Structure 1
């Protein structure tokens, strides 16, 4: 029996995403960008796909319900 755990990862900085787009515009392929920046191939594809669709490389807002408690209330 195998147990699969899904780990959350940190978001890439805007500078890293800009570097991915810069290399893509320079003519490098997904694999070469992935190897050069040591980022997974699927992440490279996702960054470029979002860049083509939405334009800027800023973090997109996430879906989901807003928290009921404000951060100040949670700290108490």
Structure 2
């Protein structure tokens, strides 16, 4: 069983409700992906493409990128090692803050009519 299937099974065992968000990359919006999401009864949050302000993972990726760059990896092995270490160091409170700020970010994107925001 693939990792995503295991995660989905674990979430269902906990009877958690969640909404899936992706970035409208063509592989995420393909017919086969949409059919799979529908079959698994996964709620998908519809967001405009090219909207990093609405995607919390983009902020986490930025955090990760800056942390790894500060460590100046010299090769792919260092890069992989530093990425894993720095990812593990991201505080859960940072993730919670990004999720909690979503309504404000959404309002800002609507107000800016999809243009860049302070987020």
- TM-score, normalised via structure 1 length: 0.30
Choose between structure 1 and 2 for higher RCO, CA contacts under 8 A separated by at least 6 residues. 1
Higher helix fraction (1 or 2): 2
- TM-score, normalised via structure 2 length: 0.22
